[in-house]
Amino acid sequence: MQKLTLISHHLCPYVQRAAIVLAEKDIPFERVYVDLSAKPDWFTTISPLGKVPLLVIRRDDGNEAVIFESAVICEYIDEALSGPRLHPTDPLDRAGHRAWMEFGSAVLGDVWGLETARDEAGYLAKAAALAAKFARVEAALDEGPFFSGDAFSLVDAVFAPVFRYFDVFDTLSDSHVFDGLPKVGAWRRSLASRASVKNAVGVDYAERLLEFLDRHDAFLVRETGAVQRSAA
């Protein structure tokens, strides 16, 4: 059996995608964390973009292959390894899911802008951009509980880490990103209760994210003083 190692970072949402997919397919793997602020030489040698995740695959003959980019990793896991298929079998439906995975990456770009905004204007601009994107998601959602119905898919694995951010953000301030979006809200709750989603991060995820916000002098945490209160 191939040995799989997921090269990770504690907060990276793209790593979480791969961890969720591996868990959904019940595939054992080892997890190795790297400090992206002080990347070790072995990591830069095997990571062409200097990013996580990486999936290191040790074959039966001892040789290793390295896959980078989260969407590629997730599709490889789904196509090549055992367990339930998480992509639709119909080519047109599959293309649609791939498009929404890309949309999820665009959403993450706005989340990054929201969490690193240092003033109210920047924060509100990113919150508005996210609200507009999730309004499009609301229109695309099926009856649930997942993106396209009863079956968990790669699109769900992409969006679950997005919602996890807001589980922490909401303890600081209501961004109102999900106001008037009942389907998105129900989807968010369904994903949050999924074991694969819960276990994709460590128990200290929220603490680490709050520390990240504090280090980056984020408007979100500076205005609430939450880190200082939690340490008191």
- The reply to whether 186 falls in a domain is yes
* Cis status of the peptide bond prior to 182, with omega within 30 of 0: no
- The reply to whether 228 falls in a domain is no
Q: Kindly report the CA angle at 30 between 107 and 156, in degrees rounded to 5?
A: 30
Which of 78, 103, 80 lies closest to 88 in space, CA to CA?
78
Residue 167, SS3?
A: helix
Pair (202, 126) in one structural domain: yes
Pair (218, 127) in one structural domain: yes
pLDDT of residue 225: 58
- Choose the catalytic residue: 4, 12, 101, 197: 12
> Domains in the chain: how many in total?
2
Active site annotation includes 74: no
Pair (40, 74) in one structural domain: yes
pLDDT of residue 227: 41
Q: Which two tokens stand for residue 173?
A: 């301030």
- The reply to whether 229 falls in a domain is no
Pair (120, 70) in one structural domain: no
- The reply to whether 232 falls in a domain is no
Q: Which two tokens stand for residue 5?
A: 């190692």
Pair (64, 111) in one structural domain: no
Q: Which residue has the tokens 């868990």?
A: 23
Helix segments in the chain, DSSP class H: 13-24, 41-46, 70-80, 91-116, 120-140, 154-169, 182-192, 195-198, 205-215, 219-224, 226-231
- The reply to whether 63 falls in a domain is yes
The span from the CA of 35 to the CA of 47, in Å, is 14
Range of 190's domain?
Answer: 91-222
The CA-atom distances, in angstroms, between 2 and each of 30, 39, 68 are: 12, 26, 17
For the CA atoms of the chain, what is the radius of gyration?
18
Pair (51, 164) in one structural domain: no
Residue 42, SS3?
A: helix
End-to-end C-alpha distance for the chain, whole angstroms: 49
Residue 7, SS3?
A: strand
Pair (115, 207) in one structural domain: yes
Task: Note whether 204 and 153 are within 8 A (CB).
Answer: no
Pair (61, 109) in one structural domain: no
- What CATH number does the domain containing 55 carry? 3.40.30.10
Residue 125, SS3?
A: helix
Which of 59, 80, 101 corresponds to the end of one domain?
80
- The reply to whether 172 falls in a domain is yes
- The reply to whether 179 falls in a domain is yes
Q: Return per-residue pLDDT of the chain as tens, 232 residues.
A: 689 999 999 999 999 999 999 999 999 999 999 999 999 999 999 999 999 999 999 988 889 999 999 999 999 999 999 999 999 999 999 999 999 999 999 999 999 999 999 999 999 999 999 999 999 999 999 899 999 999 999 999 999 999 999 999 999 999 999 999 999 999 999 999 999 999 999 999 999 999 999 999 999 987 775 444 333 3
Pair (124, 214) in one structural domain: yes
- The reply to whether 142 falls in a domain is yes
Task: Note whether 148 and 97 are within 8 A (CB).
Answer: yes
pLDDT of residue 232: 35
The span from the CA of 196 to the CA of 198, in Å, is 6
Pair (114, 14) in one structural domain: no
Pair (147, 122) in one structural domain: yes
Which of 80, 108, 135 corresponds to the end of one domain?
80
- What CATH number does the domain containing 141 carry? 1.20.1050.10
Which of 11, 45, 80 corresponds to the end of one domain?
80
Pair (112, 216) in one structural domain: yes
